[in-house]
């Protein structure tokens, strides 16, 4: 357990990772008594199984849906009906099956100008936070879920992009030079304002990127993720290189 670079939890396979996360996330959400549980969901393929588990009989009636505010860590600037939309994935795997008040679900807006959509999303976060300035000791998120791309990107913080320099805005745009779609993404300062950041990784394909981030390679956007709370790496043996 290395406090600076984060606690590592290594489990046998992807299914065990998803099951562990479902259990841990539900416990965190149930423990939140002094306000809403504020969650930033990750997209990509890795968390799909987690969302299925949370919508299954075991969790559907136990997870505190009504006390949770669901935000997104990033989004492709495509309509919600597009197969590339993270919201679409979360909706079709989880939200469609559970009793969550519509007002608790915050898809990133994906129409009009991306810069304005980012500002609009920040305003939605400010409303839940109850302020426009992030205060140390009063985190914006209870949990930020993150994935890791081959090139070390996380959320939509892609290598070499100006968003990596963002110090003030909570939400920004990113136009990756090696991946399709303009993106909206939480910025480093927004992610930092969290009680927990959890990277979920599965499969041998993640190992090289993970090893570079773990070694602190500054070229990898994920190397610069920090939190005022606890950073957790939840992964299967293959991703950990075991
Ligand atoms: C997204 C995120 C991205 C993702 C990683 C890992 O795809 O929405 O932008 O950061 O978490 O690329 O993706 P996989 O889980 O599909 O490997």
How many percent of the chain have pLDDT more than 70?
98
45 Cα nearest atom in ligand 1: 16
Say what percent of the chain tops pLDDT 90.
96
**E strand map for the chain:** 7-11, 37-41, 68-72, 74-76, 141-146, 171-174, 183-186, 194-201, 230-236
The preferred substitution site among 149, 203, 236 for testing ligand 1, maximizing ligand atoms within 8 Å of CB, is 149
Average pLDDT taken over every residue of the chain: 96
- 3-state SS class at 181: coil
Is 2's pLDDT higher than 70?
no
Q: Do residues 152 and 211 make contact, with C-beta atoms less than 8 angstroms apart?
A: no
Distance 124 CA to ligand 1 centre (A): 23
Q: Pick the atom of ligand 1 nearest to 149's CA.
A: 12
**Within 13 A of 231's CA, how many CA atoms are on the CB side?**
18
Q: Is the pLDDT of residue 178 over 90?
A: no
Using an 8 Å Cβ cutoff, are 177 and 183 in contact? no
Strands 37-41 and 230-236, by their bridges, are: unpaired
Residues with CB under 6 A from ligand 1: 42-46, 74, 86, 147-149, 153-156
**3 band by pLDDT with thresholds 50, 70 and 90:** very low
How far apart, in whole angstroms, are the C-alpha atoms of residue 207 and residue 152?
11
For ligand 1, atom 3, the nearest C-alpha belongs to: 155
Q: Give, as one character, the DSSP assignment of residue 109.
A: P
The pLDDT tens digits of the residues spanning 138-155 come to 999 999 999 999 889 999
Query: Which of ligand 1's atoms lies nearest the C-alpha of 75?
Result: 8
Span from the CA of 73 to the centroid of ligand 1 (angstroms): 10
Predicted complex ipTM exceeds 0.90: yes
Domain coordinates of the chain in residue numbers?
7-240
pLDDT at 5: 66
How far does the centroid of ligand 1 lie from the alpha carbon of residue 33, in Å? 31
Query: Best of 17, 45, 51, 148 to mutate for ligand 1, by most ligand atoms within 8 A of CB?
Result: 148
What's the mean pLDDT in 123-129? 98
User: Tell me: the pLDDT tens digits for 198-236?
Assistant: 999 999 999 999 999 999 999 999 999 999 999 999 999
Extract the tokens encoding 73: 């860590």
Secondary-structure class of domain 7-240 per CATH: alpha beta
Residue 165 has pLDDT above 90, yes or no: yes
């Amino acid at each position: 357990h290395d406090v600076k670079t984060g606690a590592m939890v290594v489990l046998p396979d992807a299914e065990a990772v998803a099951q562990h996360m479902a259990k841990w996330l539900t416990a965190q959400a149930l423990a939140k008594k002094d306000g809403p549980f504020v969650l930033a969901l990750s997209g990509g393929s890795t968390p799909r199984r987690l969302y299925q588990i949370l919508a299954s009989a075991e969790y559907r009636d136990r997870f505190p849906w009504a006390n949770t505010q669901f935000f997104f860590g990033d989004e492709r600037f495509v309509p919600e009906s597009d197969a590339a939309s993270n919201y679409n994935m979360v909706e079709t795997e989880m939200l469609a099956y559970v009793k969550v008040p519509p007002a608790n679900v915050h898809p990133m807006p994906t129409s009009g100008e991306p810069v304005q959509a980012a500002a609009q999303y920040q305003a939605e976060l400010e409303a839940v936070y109850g302020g426009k300035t992030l205060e140390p000791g009063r985190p914006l998120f209870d949990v930020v879920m993150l994935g890791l791309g081959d090139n070390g990107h996380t959320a939509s913080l892609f290598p070499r992009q100006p968003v990596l320099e963002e110090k003030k805005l909570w939400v920004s745009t990113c136009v990756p030079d090696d991946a399709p779609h303009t993106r909206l993404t939480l910025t480093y300062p927004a992610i930092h304002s969290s009680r927990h950041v959890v990277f979920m990784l599965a499969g041998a394909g993640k190992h090289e990127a993970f090893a570079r981030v773990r070694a602190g390679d500054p070229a990898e956007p994920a190397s610069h993720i920090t939190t005022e709370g606890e950073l957790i790496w939840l992964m299967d043996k293959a991703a950990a290189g075991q």
